[in-house]
Amino acid sequence: MADTKLIDLAIEASKNAYVPYSHFPIGAALVAKDGRVFTGCNVENASFGLTNCGERTAIFKAISEGAREFEELVIFGKTEQPVSPCGACRQVMVEFFEKDLPVTLVAEDKSTVVMTVQELLPYSFTDLK
């Protein structure tokens, strides 16, 4: 399980969520192998399909800052059960993470479930072959 500092970073990130439509804030914290931590939140749009999820924000921030190797990801949601990442985010995880990378899913009460990328998206589409 991710340490509490990382979980707290994801919770802090969720406070920046721009969620006027869903009122469902998500925060994420992504640890790169070089030690950098990238946080993210969901950013919604009146054209709903343009919304960017919290974990994808963190991943895209990391990629745009040159990080390519990652240790772990934490995702926090104000949910009763540990939050479940959407299918689009799972596919983006497969693009950039090793299949055994641990993803800690965190509920509002800070209860957690840890799943690997492989468990989140088995038999995934990974390339054009």
What residues make contact with ligand THU under the rule CB under 6 A? 19, 22, 24, 26, 42, 44, 51, 53-55, 85-86, 89
Which CB sits closer to ligand THU, 19 or 114? Answer: 19
Least Å distance between CB 52 and ligand THU?
8
> Which of 12, 55, 69, 108 is an active site residue?
55
Least Å distance between CB 49 and ligand THU?
11
Annotated catalytic residue 65:
no
Least Å distance between CB 55 and ligand THU?
6
Return the residue matching tokens 């088995």. Answer: 122
Which CB sits closer to ligand THU, 53 or 121? Answer: 53
Q: What's the rounded Cα separation, in Å, for the pair 2 and 112?
A: 9
CA angle 15, 72, 37 (to 5 degrees): 55
Structure-token pair, residue 56:
């994808």
Which CB sits closer to ligand THU, 39 or 42? Answer: 42
| 8 A C-beta contact, residue 29 and residue 1 | no
Please name the residues in contact with 101: beta carbons below 8 A apart, sequence gap of 6 or more: 70, 71, 72, 73, 93, 116, 117
Which amino acids are annotated catalytic? 55
